[in-house]
Every structure is written in C-alpha cells, then in structure tokens.
Structure 1
Amino acid sequence: MPSILADDIDILAKAKRALAGDYVPSENEDYMSEPQLDYFRRLLQAWKRAILDSSADTLQHLQEGPIREPDLNDRASSETDWGIELRTRDRQRKLIAKIDSAVRRIEEGEYGYCEVTGEPIGLGRLIARPIATMTVEAQQAHERREKVSRDD
C-alpha cells in the first residue's frame, strides 16, 4: 500500500527542484519575455511528468492485487488509505488538464495575463501557482461571488 508522502503532496516543488540551477524569472526583465515563457513551459512540463510518474506508481500498486488484511480494522485502515490515494490521483488528473491549458496559453501568447481583467498576473503568483489564470484581486472577487451564490 503506497503512503502519501510529504514529498508526493507537493509535486510542484519536485518540478521546481528539477529545474534548480537553471534560469529563474526576475522582475528586472520584460514581463513574459521569451526566457520567462520558456521557464514556465519547462516547469509545467516537469510538473506534469512528476504527476504522471506518481500516478504510474499508484496504478502499479493497484494492479498488485486486492487488499487482503486478515484483521478487519487493518483492512478498513488500508481501504481508507486507498480511498485517500485515489482521491488525490483524481485531483491530480484534473490538475493535468489545467497544466495542459496553461501550456496552450503559453503557445497562444495569453499566458501570464488575467482572463478577467487582462492585466499581468505577476511573476510571484505564477511562480507559486503556474496554472493561475487570474490576478489575486480577480481571484478574490471570484471567490466572494462564489461564496455569496453558495450562501443563497
């Protein structure tokens, strides 16, 4: 039974470490210059690769056979762990679609700009969350609207 390791939780950090020593975008350059776009493209591709590698490990463990714990409590614990693992993989599957969308936006020249306001998202936000599609302000407004509609 695979366990969710702290290292597996932040796969983006793994992707960033894979690019360590390479170029890192700076505020001193033109926003979304070719080197910056190339950095984010490589980061997104490394992130996706790390997710797929992790998913392959889960698939391999699933194919090893069913949980056969003789003790009912151990079996329940193992099944809970598997449920958590599978939910994590489902979230990562959805994340891959967002990564692919971000790569497409790079290719179309839309990456790094808010889909709501058209303003630059900012390097700090993109480094922290390369799949961001909105500025912090636009995201907060979106979440407030979402909360209000959910409360109604």
Structure 2
Amino acid sequence: CDSENRYLGNPLRGTCYYNLLIDYQFTFSLLQEDDRHYTSINFMATPEQANKNLDMSINASNNFNLNITWSLSSTAGTISGEEMPIIARTNIKEHRDSFSCEKFNFRLHHNITFYVYVTNFSWPIKIQIAFSQHNSIMDLVQFFVTFF
C-alpha cells in the first residue's frame, strides 16, 4: 500500500485503505485515462473523541455500492481484526449516517475503526467523503456564520 499517501493495510493479506482524518472532507477525482480501470476504493476512520458521535457522509458523481463495517482493531486487511457489518447499499449516489459514541462504546473501545468500501462504480467518477465529530452547538454557530 502507498503509505506515503495515507494508504494502510497489506494487499497480500487483505486490501489497502485510505486513512481518513476526522473533520476533513476528502475528494477523490478518478477522471484521468489512467484511472479507467478502478472500480473500487476503500477508506478507514477512527473516532478521535470518545464522547462524541461519529458522523459520516459520502457522495459521488456516479452510482456506487457501499458497505460499511467496524472493527475493534485497526489491523486493516488482516484476519485478527474481524469486521462487523453495519450498512450494505447498492446503486446509490450518496449516503449519510451517524455512529453513536454510546452504541459503539468509543470510551471503552478507543481503537474502534470504521471501514467504508465503495465498489462497482464506473469511470469517470468524483467521490467526496467525510467523517466528523463535533458539538451540535457548533453546528448552529456555523450555520449562522455561513447563512447570515
């Protein structure tokens, strides 16, 4: 995996994942002729704060299939970090979700990792994905600063 460009994992024992930062939006533009053979991309994210829910959004210019799983270990692509399914959707262009800090017990499971598998898309495509953890009061402040 291309670790210099934020990819983690082991392609010989599983797959590679782009390691997403929390509270950033990432855009992946697969628009060049060299990108024509890509039909999937994988992401991973680990919550940074134990007392805040983890919100996730993804959208793309073309339809795609989406699978989201979680694991108590960030041993990406290995058998020891068994992944538990959360979401499986097909032929979509966007998805939003929130993962509860209480349901997934971020306090106890500080190494919990969420995996996002985006598959079965066609070239060319632009994909935007973000994971965030923030206070709801900050959402109101941001709203008023943005729109008023």
TM over 0.5: no
Greater helix share, structure number: 1
Greater strand share, structure number: 2
TM-score, normalization by structure 1: 0.29
Higher RCO structure (Cα 8 Å, ≥6 apart): 2
Larger gyration radius, structure 1 or structure 2: 1
